[in-house]
Amino acid sequence: MPETISERWLYALKPASWPKLLVPMLLGQGLGIAASRPSGALSGLLFGVVFTLLDLIFIVLLNDWFDRDVDALKRRMFPHSGSPKTIPDGILAPWHLLGAGLLAAALAALVSLGAGLAIHPGLFPAGITCLVLFAAYSAPPLHLNYRGGGELLEMLGVGVALPWLNAYALSKRMLFPELACLLGFSLLSMASAIASGMSDEESDRKGGKRTVVTRFGNARARTWVERLVPAGALTWIATALLVPRALPLGAALLAASVTLWGWLRVRRCSSAAVTNAFAAQAAYKQELHRAIWGGGLLLAAAFAVRGAI
């Protein structure tokens, strides 16, 4: 359990989950460099980093605030299992999370306004749209992670909107061929979104959350995750073959190979990741994230190099 106030805030911010947004950010920046081959894109890159970090703080803290009741329910159901929960275990007060999350959202909106004035006018509405899209996951009136559709929203936000915003900031172009690679990445993001609900299956179900796992069960959710991962990797290869301008075949093959190798590791630990097997589920999701983030980072590097030469 963290003791000092700085340790408590760092714990609440969940740094282990940051690559879930940082990898899409880097992929988008690589796409933007490849699309524009910019000589002075530092302002767009800086905007992408600052916006993504503020958005990350906003999402992490507000999700904990909106999920405080179901997190407390899980703690009552499994008092000695899983990692400490920020609010139920008294790491931080609820209103501290709410205030910091809203402040991060306000700062992200101001950063978007500044980017709209300094870089490209479209970045202000684009940034606000991303904030609204992410807010719809947890916040009323949509509250989609309770009503159903939260995984789809996460796929669109993490797999498409965030990398697109970063690409737009660097290239100043809303559409270009390289964006086609986001189709494969969005499928991988959907796999991650489904898997994220595995460790909360019974508490989410009892708390009224409608997720893929609560509606269809652990086994079927794992089946879908393990189909989406190779589908995303093979979509990269298909994109390279069908739209050569969008994605170099060599980069697609390398990224797909890394993701598929990770998928094999996911399959090896799948049978143990059953309902309430929290340690096995954590290992399962760790291997899944390695597969997704490894392929995404390789594509980001390939696009950045392509734009730099």
* Span 45-82, pLDDT tens digits: 999 999 999 999 999 999 999 989 998 998 888 887 77
Q: State the pLDDT confidence band at 3, using cuts at 50, 70 and 90.
A: confident
What pLDDT digit, counting tens, does each position of 96-119 carry? 999 999 999 999 999 999 999 999
Res 148: pLDDT: 85
Distance CA 84, CA 197 (A): 17
Domain regions of the chain by residue span: 1-175, 176-200+217-309
Spatial separation of the C-alpha atoms in residues 118 and 273, rounded to whole Å = 49
pLDDT confidence tier of residue 1, bands split at 50, 70 and 90: low
Mean pLDDT over each residue of the chain, to the nearest integer: 92
pLDDT in tens, 258-279: 999 999 999 999 999 999 999 9
pLDDT > 70: percent of the chain: 98
pLDDT tens digits, one per residue of 7-22: 999 999 999 999 999 9
The confidence score (pLDDT) of residue 180 equals 95
Q: Which of 101-105, 140-144, 212-216, 248-252 has the lowest mean pLDDT?
A: 140-144
Three-class secondary structure of residue 207 per DSSP: coil
Gap between the Cα atoms of 180 and 245, Å rounded: 10
Instruction: Give the mean model confidence (pLDDT) for residues 247-259.
Output: 95
- 67, 200 contact by CB (below 8 A): no
Residue 145's H or E segment, with its range, is helix 144-147
Residue 226 to residue 233: CA distance in whole angstroms:
12
**CATH class of residue range 1-175:** mainly alpha
Q: What is the pLDDT of residue 224?
A: 98
Q: Cβ neighbours of residue 285 under 8 Å, at least 6 residues apart?
A: 195, 196, 198, 199
Both structure tokens of 243: 């739209």
The pLDDT of residue 2 is above 80:
no
Q: In this structure, is the dihedral angle defined by the CA atoms of residues 8, 67, 145 and 111, taken in order, positive or negative? A: negative
pTM for the whole structure: 0.94
Q: At what angle do helices 249-268 and 218-242 cross, to 10 degrees?
A: 170
Average pLDDT, stretch 303-307? 88
Name the token pair of 272: 């143990």
Structure tokens at 296: 């995404």
Please state, in angstroms and rounded to a whole number, the distance separating the CA atoms of residues 306 and 309. Answer: 6
pLDDT tens column, 172-202: 999 999 999 999 999 999 999 999 999 999 9
- Torsion, Cα of 59, 62, 65, 67 (10° steps): -50
Confidence of residue 237 (pLDDT cuts 50, 70, 90): very high
